[in-house]
Amino acid sequence: MTTSSDHVVGDSFVGAVLGARYRLDARIGRGGMATVYRAEDLTLGRPVAVKVFAEAAEGIDDAERRRSETALLASLRHRALVTLYDASRDPASGREFLVMELVDGRDLREALKHGPLGPADAAGLLADVAEALHVIHERGIVHRDVKPANVLLEPAHLPSRTWNAKLADFGIARLIDDARLTRAGLLVGTPGYLSPEQVSGAAPSPAADIYSLGLLVLEARTGVAAFPGPAVEAASARLVRDPEIPESLGADWVSLLRSMTAREPGDRPSALDVAIAATALDTSRASVSNVTAPTIAFADVAAAQTQPAEAAAAASGASDASSGSETAATQVLPSPSRSFFDAPAGTESAESTRRAARAASEQRSRRWVRPTIAISLLVAIGAVVAVLLFSSLTAQQAATTPEPLPAVPGELGVHLEELDEAVTGG
């Protein structure tokens, strides 16, 4: 099946089948020299993009040259290059067309309608496109038309990137004879992004692509085209002035963009140099934006959690064993099944002693009734003795014999001696 005039309405090929193989389903882009369609490869059953050239751009009807150039361009495989599948001429319509990889996403021109790119995204974009240009320049191909509409943005699969950039439309000048384009009065390139030598009519070299890429990335960072306006004005402006590069972009960006847009081709860096510089820009920006709080070790967390326990132990004099360690070891918190304030093991004997002391005190209080002032003094002294005894038992000194109390003359001294004997079991 081939294209018939019934399938073509005006310059639209929607619904047509080119070369008995590619069914054009919808138009997705249009330029001065060609229209791009979303299409279906009926032989392989896969979606593709088909670029149909205008009549004035014909020039690849030499079958042998077309096969040679198509083989060259199709051999260029890189993640940042839109893969070329086929190039042919439809016999029914007489139109020449390219069949390319279909990239799901949008182009940079559409993306910039929502505002300029941030430094990290712009650096990633520049690295991708510069690396792609390095690949085609190594094969002797000059793109000639580096512009936002020819940079496609494919969604990325890594959280560190928003999308991956792909360069399209490389090698068109090789597929379409330069002589034919000259006779038709066409110039491969977009006025707002042409290099000074292209405006002057000189044959473009790889340095021309570097200049165009510099203007593209400058616009991506600022959101403003460096040379806007009508075609003639935009093209001729760069012959008399250099693009304005704001100092607010940062010294590293300003230096790189100025070298890329130098008026003399020999003063511009190579595509490889630009790719390396852009990668360094991307890395430096990522290292600043990805600074996070220091990782806290689990031992540090455990030590922080044990600080209240250590403070309580220090208050009771029980932290001496851990204070001599050179490094703070991870402390074990009390078991949840036991209250933090439970009495330590071994205090049952102290409790029994206290109960015996209270019983003895009550018994003697019934036997001897003394004046109120004597009883008060006795209770106060007994409380002091009990506190001293409890402290000594807690410090694991219960086995030692307490020092004898000071001698108190009179009947009060006798009572104190009896109380002491009851408490100590003497």
DSSP letters spanning 2-42: ---GGG-BTTB-TT-EETTTEEEEEEEEE-SSEEEEEEEET
Residue type present at position 238: R
pLDDT of residue 75: 87
Instruction: Enter the pTM of the model.
Output: 0.63
Q: CA angle, 239 as apex, 234 and 240 as ends, to 5°? A: 100
DSSP letter, residue 331: P
Fold topology of 5-100: Phosphorylase Kinase; domain 1 (3.30.200)
pLDDT of residue 234: 83
pLDDT of residue 206: 96
Same fold, 5-100 and 106-289: no
Compute CA distances 320 → 49, 264, 412, whole Å. 79, 79, 40
Extract the tokens encoding 46.
């896969």
Residues carrying an active site annotation: 145
Residue 288 belongs to what H/E stretch? Answer: helix 271-289
pLDDT of residue 288: 44
pLDDT tens digit sequence for 170-225: 877 776 655 455 444 455 678 899 999 999 888 889 999 999 999 999 999 999 99
pLDDT tens digit sequence for 270-321: 999 999 999 998 665 444 444 333 333 333 333 444 444 444 444 444 344 3
Cα–Cα dist 311/9, whole Å: 88
Residue 370, classified by CB atoms within 10 Å of its CB into exposed (0-12), middle (13-18) or buried (19+), is middle
Residue stretches of the chain with pLDDT short of 50: 1-6, 179, 182-185, 285-350, 364-372, 396-401
DSSP letter, residue 343: P
pLDDT of residue 114: 94
pLDDT of residue 243: 96
Q: Just give the CATH number of 106-289.
A: 1.10.510.10
Which value, in Å, is the radius of gyration of the alpha carbons in the chain? 45
Domain spans, the chain: 5-100, 106-289, 293-313+328-342, 348-424
